[in-house]
Amino acid sequence: MNQDRNEKRLDLSRRTFLATGVLSLAALTLPGRALAQFQKFSATEKTISLHNIHTGERLNKAVFWANGKYVQETLADIDYLLRDYRNGEVKRIDVQLLDMLFEVRQKVGGFRSYQVISGYRSPATNELLARSSSGVAPKSLHLQGQAIDIRLPGIELPRLRNAALSLRAGGVGYYPKSQFVHIDTGVPRSW
């Protein structure tokens, strides 16, 4: 009887070892978005640090994903911080965008908060900005809570852009004169 239990434990240990090995090998061979999806399920928690440069508000190492699910209270805090600061309108931010920011941060390191130039934009704000700048799309993904314009102190802008591009998970815009990188969850593309 004891020998049967020991053999079952040994068999279970072998299975665990083999499964871990297969998953580790897969992590090394998966490209871009597939790797991000694998990491999504292998991380125990995801955090984000944001600084809204217009309002001065900050979130520091806020856990937005833990134990296999998104933390709704933190998501509400992020939605509020990324609101349209011009009129106070709040919109749900796409969690895939937060996942992308997490993955970019993993790639570039650093310890400071993302500086947020623009998160959610209400239709009225987007229209106002589009009238004064040719760089604002009339159907911007900022309107859907699917885009963010950021910089990361201590990390050069080209490095931030390249890390976002390497995800192959959405749009990446590079604005060196304005000193920010645009990231969105739309069709993978760059400009």
Cα–Cα distance list, 54 to 92, 93, 115, 170 (Å):
19, 18, 10, 25
Q: Give the count of beta carbons closer than 10 Å to the beta carbon of residue 120.
A: 25
Q: Which residue has the higher pLDDT, 143 or 22?
A: 143
Domain ranges of the chain: 1-30, 32-190
Q: Say if residue 30's pLDDT is above 50.
A: no
Domain 32-190 fold: Muramoyl-pentapeptide Carboxypeptidase; domain 2 (3.30.1380)
Residues 6+ apart with CB under 8 A from 27: 35, 38, 39, 42
Residue 5 has a pLDDT of 44
Query: Which amino acid does the sequence have at 151?
Result: R
Q: Say if residue 61's pLDDT is above 50.
A: yes
Mean predicted confidence (pLDDT) in 162-185: 97
Can you give the pTM of this predicted structure? 0.76
Q: Which residue has the higher pLDDT, 68 or 130?
A: 68
pLDDT digits (tens, 9 = 90+) for 62-109: 999 999 999 999 999 999 999 999 999 999 999 999 999 999 999 999
| Dihedral over alpha carbons 53, 96, 142, 134 (to 10 degrees) | 90
